[in-house]
Homo-oligomer: A and B are copies of this chain.
Amino acid sequence: MSNSSDRRTTLPRRRDEAKALFRNAILDAAEHVFAKQGFHGARIQDIADHARIAVGTVYNHFEQKEDVLHALLEVRLDQMIDNLRPQPTDPEPFEQKLTCCVIRTLQFVEAHRDFHQVALDCGLFAKGTASASSILKDKAVEHFEKLRATMLALVNEGLQSGALRPMDPVPLARALGGLIRSSSIGMLMEQSHPDLEAEASLLVDLYLNGAGRADRTGRPRDENDLGER
């Protein structure tokens, strides 16, 4: 076996590895710097410094500053969505399955505080936000929709299993998203690392059962809350 054939495959392989190495280093650095300084406050120099590479190298991997942000959000958001999505190993009753999804999601948030900082900053969880939309343009909508779709799928599963009130899934999904976002923000704001499982359980409990007293007499919930207005 000639090593010329090796060269043809080995060299490119090494190159590809190196390429991925640099790309990831840049994204990691960007995640950190964007989180601390915001997109506009972050200089390419800062990112390069953090990744211990030269400015030009960043531009060998990304056309413009914005593209670094795009790539970062895309990669991490896909990971996040994977966590939010029900897994085969999740227990069946919807409430428990939902709790598992929320736990994983909060764990992901906790593990990727920087990303969440950035994502919030970019209105990734709130679309049309000004500076976000001016940076992300259509991409923001794309990202946002992916997340929304995942949330809707989850809610639809709950509806089909009969665990959720039979109603328009859009507000149901929106409410779930709102609660998760609240908890995430709460976690980001605090230094402490709370008991995520308890946090998730509480969240699911509030989502499913509401904040009101259970024993309010004669509450005619499921029939006509919507209809009567």
Interface of A toward B, CB cutoff 8 Å? 34-41, 91, 93, 95-96, 99, 117-118, 120-121, 123, 126-132, 134-135, 158, 162-165, 171-172, 174-183, 185-186, 188-189, 197-198, 201-203, 205-216, 219, 221-222, 225-226, 229
Residues A128 and B188 in contact in the complex (CB < 8 Å), given A123-B121, A182-B175, A201-B229? yes
When the two chains form their complex, are residues A39 and B131 in contact, meaning their CB atoms are under 8 A apart?
A: yes
Task: Report, nearest first, the 4 A-B pairs whose CB atoms are least far apart.
Answer: A38-B131, A178-B182, A210-B210, A208-B212
Q: Please pick, from B134, B158, B201, B213, the residue contacting A38 in the complex, using a CB distance under 8 A.
A: B134
Q: DSSP majority for the A interface?
A: helix
Q: Smallest distance from the beta carbon of A3 to chain B beta carbons, Å?
A: 21
Contacts of A221 in B (CB 8 A): 205, 209, 214
Contacts of A95 in B (CB 8 A): 212, 225, 229
